[in-house]
Every structure is written in C-alpha cells, then in structure tokens.
Structure 1
Amino acid sequence: MKDNKVEVRVRYGETDQMGVVYHGSYVPYFEIGRVEWLRNRGVLYKDMEQNGIALPIVSMHLNYKKPAKYDDLLTIHTKLKSYSGVKIEFDCEIRNENEELLTTAHFILVFVDVNSGKPTTPPQYILDIINAE
C-alpha cells in the first residue's frame, strides 16, 4: 500500500518550555496526514462531510521514540493498513529532517452517517480509492 507524505514545521505554541513538542500536539499532526492522504486521492474531507459521511477516530495508539523540537521540519507518513466494512486503519510515522523516526501511530476510524450518527459503509468513490491501494 502506498505511503503518503506531508511536511509540517513545528510552531512555538506546540512546544513546552524546553522547546520540545508537547505530546498532545502529535494528534493534530497525524490528522493532517490522514486528511492529506484523502486529498491526494481526490477526496476532500469537507466534501465527504457535506455528503453525509464523517470519519471519527475510535482507537489510536502512539509511540514516542525521540522528541521533535521547535522549528523542526517534520514529515508525516500515512499508509492505509486495512479496510473492512465500516472500519479503516492507518499506520503513521513522523520523521525529522535527518530522517530519524520520532513517533509512530496506529489509528482506527469508522465511517459514520452524519445524520444518524451510526456506522455506515463508505460511498463507492471512496471504496474505489481504498481498493486501488
């Protein structure tokens, strides 16, 4: 399955007093990775929601290996791990400019009908993208 990459630079507000990225700042980084994974395949998350489909996280597991620091340029790698029915899983990692592995993550998300709030199978255009991976 194809790896998707996107770069972000660590902003001052994402760090603690020591200039190290605060652990809670990683979740938005990984969200950027997943949203860009969709965008690079022709799906805008905003359009998906306007068409009645949301994709909330139901499980996440993060492993911190090395700290990211203020002004580091990070590369977020996002890869589709699996899909079944209403559930989609991603493996992700963040590396710094020296290609050092800083953080790994695994996310499970569920396709949800915006109106009912219940799990649903994704529309065919999303299934086509998943199957092409």
Structure 2
Amino acid sequence: MFVSSKEIEVRYAETDQMGVVYHANYIIWMEVGRTKLIQDLGFSYAAMEKDGIISPVVDIQIEYKKPITYGEKAIIHTWIEKYNGIKTVYGYEIFNSHGELAAKGFSSHVCVKKETFRPVVFKKLYPEWHEAYVKAMKEER
C-alpha cells in the first residue's frame, strides 16, 4: 500500500505541563497526515469542499505508545487501510524523533453533501479519486 509521510516540528503550545504532547494533538496530526496523503495522490480536500462535499469522521481510534516532547519532531505515516467506494478507513502511525512508534490509530470517514449531510457514493462522484485509492491500497509498502 502507498504510505504518505509528513514531518511536524512539535510546538510548545502542543504540550502539557509535563512537556509532553497533549493527547488531542495526535488527532489533529492524523488530519494533517490524511490531507498530505490526499495531496500525494494528486487530489485536494479543499477542492472537494468547494463542490459541497465534506468527509466527516464517523469513528476514530488511537493507541498511545510513547510520549513525544517539545523540541522533537513527529513523523506521521498515513495510508488507506480499507476503502469500498463509500467509506474510507485511514491508518496512521506517528513516530518520535528517535524513530520509535509513539501512537497508532485509524479513522473512518464517509462523504456527505454539506447542506444535508446525506451520504454520497464517492466512487461515482469522483471516479479518478476512487481509482487512485484502489491503486494506493495495492501498492507495496
């Protein structure tokens, strides 16, 4: 499968009083990774929103393994874990500056019309994007 990578420098504001990255920031970083994956495949989430389509999170899971602290870099690896033309499950691994796994998780998304929140069939609405997702899942890691 195709794996996108994004490096983030940990900012002081992302840490708690212990100097450790606050847990909710990992979810933000997952979004950053997801956006990077979409860009790497040649598409734009912002352009999809201009079409009146959004992709809300319907489920998210994260498991914390090791802390990341201020002054380190976080490296987010993102891939498409499952995809059926309607629902997409993205996978994530977030590493610290030492290459150690700090967190891993998954988020599930469906595309809906922004005004009504009614689901759309992604593969029919964006056939090129659909094909890119199918291809990305088949690529070797």
TM-score of the two chains, using structure 2 as the length reference: 0.90
- 1:130 maps to 2:133: yes
Q: Following TM superposition, where does structure 1 have runs of at least 4 consecutive aligned residues deviating by more than 2 angstroms?
A: none
- Range with bigger deviation, 122-131 or 55-64: 122-131
Superposed, 1:60-75 pairs within 5 Å as 60-75=60-75
- 1:86 maps to 2:83: no
- Equivalenced residue count is 133
Superposed, 1:1-133 pairs within 5 Å as 1-122=1-122, 123-133=126-136
Give unpaired runs (5+ residues) of structure 2. Answer: 137-141
Give unpaired runs (5+ residues) of structure 1. Answer: none
TM-score of the two chains, using structure 1 as the length reference: 0.95
Distance 1:100 1:69 in 2: 13
Q: Deviations over 1:101-128 (max 9, x none)?
A: 0000111111112232111111212212
Distance 2:101 2:79 in 1: 15
Aligned letter for 1:76?
A: I
| Counterpart in the other structure of 2:139 | none
Distance 1:65 1:30 in 2: 15
Distance 1:41 1:84 in 2: 17
* CA-CA distance at 1:52 after TM superposition: 2.1
Distance 2:102 2:81 in 1: 20
